[in-house]
């Protein structure tokens, strides 16, 4: 199994480290030739969604990534990666997202909660985090809420989380994503 990790900006190394601990091979996507490698899934990391979208366009990766996801490539988007999957961006997931919903960097916080299909007591690190304002179709479903806001969802083989599971020692979110690639 090989997982592509978008490595244009943001917290991509931490995802690679989790995959390595789980014995899963990964590689970084920095340009179009990287994207052409065989892959079983894709991680869209946290970071700055505006910068990531601009770089996807400039590097001619936007449409190939969008098309692969629409054709069924499993994808896990965390924080900015969740924004990328949403309406108005890649638009592959039927979600409307509110960017920086919890405020500036000082509004960052940790929580523990239940993520349906994953488990209880999942540690959640929120950094200038978005949340899902609305699920736009019955193809998509909420997996977790914090303070009345949807913070994780799944649509087919697309998994989105407003938090950063790669910044904790709990690897259950990554294990769940790996199951989606099978």
Is 140 one of the catalytic residues?
A: no
CB 154 within 8 A of CB 53: no
Residue of 14, 79, 140, 174 marked active site: 79
- DSSP symbols for the chain: -EEEEE-SSSSHHHHHHHHHHTT-EEEEE-SHHHHTS--SEEEE-SS-HHHHHHHHHHTT-HHHHHHHHHTT--EEEETHHHHHHSTTTT--SSEEEETTTT-SGGG-EEEEEEETTTEEEEEEEESS--EEEEE-STTEEEEEEETTEEEEEEETTEEEESS-GGGSS--HHHHHHHHHT-
In the residue annotation, 174 being an active-site residue is answered as no
Is 166 among the residues known to form the active site? yes
Are the CB atoms for 24 and 62 separated by under 8 Å? no
**What are the residue numbers of the active site?**
79, 164, 166
């Amino acid at each position: 199994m090989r997982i592509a990790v978008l490595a244009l900006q943001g917290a991509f190394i931490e995802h690679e480290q989790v995959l390595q601990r789980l014995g899963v091979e990964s590689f970084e996507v920095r340009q179009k030739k990287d994207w052409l490698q065989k892959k079983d899934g894709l991680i869209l990391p946290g970071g700055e969604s505006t910068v990531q979208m601009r770089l996807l366009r400039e590097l001619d990766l936007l449409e190939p990534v969008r098309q692969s996801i629409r054709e069924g490539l499993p994808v896990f988007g965390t924080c900015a990666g969740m924004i990328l999957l949403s309406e108005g961006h890649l638009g592959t997931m039927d979600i409307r997202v509110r960017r920086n919903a919890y405020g500036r960097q000082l509004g960052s916080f940790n929580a523990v909660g239940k993520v349906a299909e994953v488990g209880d007591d999942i540690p959640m690190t929120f950094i200038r985090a978005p949340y899902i304002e609305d699920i736009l179709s019955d193809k998509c479903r909420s997996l977790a809420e914090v303070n009345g806001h949807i913070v994780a969802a799944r649509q087919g083989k697309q998994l989105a989380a407003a938090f950063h599971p790669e910044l904790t020692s709990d690897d259950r979110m990554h294990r769940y994503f790996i199951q989606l690639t099978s």
